[in-house]
Structure 1
């Protein structure tokens, strides 16, 4: 017997968005590339894209070819830190988690993506990668400087508490982030990082600062496409019905990124059509 199915509505093409993977994990004796499900859902549902992995293969990734095929890149957070020689700093303390394969992939990828006009959203480690790739520096341990409030997560607290309100930020008027979220009330973000911006890279523009003055968001001046990075984690509580509450600010940020990726996707489709005509 042939079962009749009602025809499905044809869905508009979605942008192809690459997600940066880490390499420091293993499954048994087998190295694996990883990124959290929360980033996949942020891309596929929050940004309305198709999520694909960018493996941490360093020179094994043909970056020029990759960025020509992508409509966006999301640079994820990670337990690891960028190796400090990339920003001309002294070595890390023993026991600091690093991922040199990821460094070797994402730092040149950022340059290639900017040059190709691929929208980028950097989150936490991704925020720090963008600053370092473009020539900026980092504080390796914010809490030892005596200048900043506590930004580290309390790992003994429940997960929902760790990703809840950490501190407020001040969004800089007239910037890219202010165009995404222009409401006057204080904006709360989560805070789960030990490192932070020491010197902002040339060409980057501050989009938001914490109560203590630490840079919490920036954009790239003159970039041909959406190029924004945030120190907090908007991928966690952006959606309605989340167990610990919905953050509409996070949803707006992911939506703006998704719209930028969709614009590039449509432009690439037009270009392919013109070539095939």
Structure 2
């Protein structure tokens, strides 16, 4: 069977005198080697894109992490220089893409910024600079010039019994990396909590009424997909869902011939 095609979100960046629509290599590598899918970068042009047409052609959607944050105006918050940077073109693309993917039953994996976009897309809110809140641990990356140290697996999260991710990892604690300063505040009504940190921070969610795999994680499984078993497992689960959709679409196409 050919590789399922998976739509991947992009950030809008300015460098080398060009405006780039791009995604970090780690996500693309994890999609190929971990999930066994072919990643297709979706430029962030918002309503100019035919997202319905795109979702007829792909077998999954992966929403990546990013240094930028969802613009607070999208969930009733106030923008500030400290809370930035923002990427409104990405917001205008990913939020409707997430909603349409869920409606169409297209498998969805949302990572870091992606879980925050998922929550906002489904009516939730975000908490900013959570390390400043009483009783909340510092979830930001350790200060280092070395990416392996910044993305080190160092924090435990508890997987909820009976959840979607319990079927992937088993219930109980797993170790993950933590590189975020925002988190889910009010949970979107269509979401359920899949995993929490020891301070109660929501670390993973799933869509309750989804017709396919639809999960968001606050950590970064893409970084260690080649060396950490749990990082690999979530991409394998996403890849299996994408292949199931691809196979189902193939059967429907044959029946229509």
- Which residue is 1:264 aligned to? 245
- Which residue is 1:9 aligned to? none
Question: Would you say 1:36 and 2:42 are equivalent positions?
Answer: no
SS at match of 1:93: coil
Question: Would you say 1:14 and 2:3 are equivalent positions?
Answer: yes
Counterparts of 1:132 and 1:249, CA distance in 2: 26
Contact 2:46 2:89 in 1 (8 A): yes
**What TM-score, normalized to structure 2?**
0.97
Deviation at 1:262, TM superposition (A): 0.3
**What TM-score, normalized to structure 1?**
0.90
Contact 2:155 2:175 in 1 (8 A): yes
Contact 2:162 2:171 in 1 (8 A): no
Counterparts of 1:201 and 1:92, CA distance in 2: 23
CA offsets, 1:12-64, max 9 Å, x none?
A: 222101110001x1232210111011111111110001111111111121111
Deviation at 1:92, TM superposition (A): 2.2
- Which residue is 1:114 aligned to? 102
Deviation at 1:147, TM superposition (A): 3.1
Deviation at 1:274, TM superposition (A): 1.4
Q: Which runs of 5+ in 2 are unaligned?
A: none
Deviation at 1:83, TM superposition (A): 0.3
Question: Would you say 1:73 and 2:61 are equivalent positions?
Answer: yes
Larger radius of gyration: 1
CA offsets, 1:74-110, max 9 Å, x none?
A: 1000010000000011222357200000000000111
Match of 1:165 among 150, 153, 158: 153
Counterparts of 1:37 and 1:28, CA distance in 2: 19
Question: Would you say 1:273 and 2:254 are equivalent positions?
Answer: yes
Match of 1:236 among 223, 226, 239: 223
- Which residue is 1:247 aligned to? 228
Q: Which runs of 5+ in 1 are unaligned?
A: 1-11, 240-245
Counterparts of 1:95 and 1:111, CA distance in 2: 25
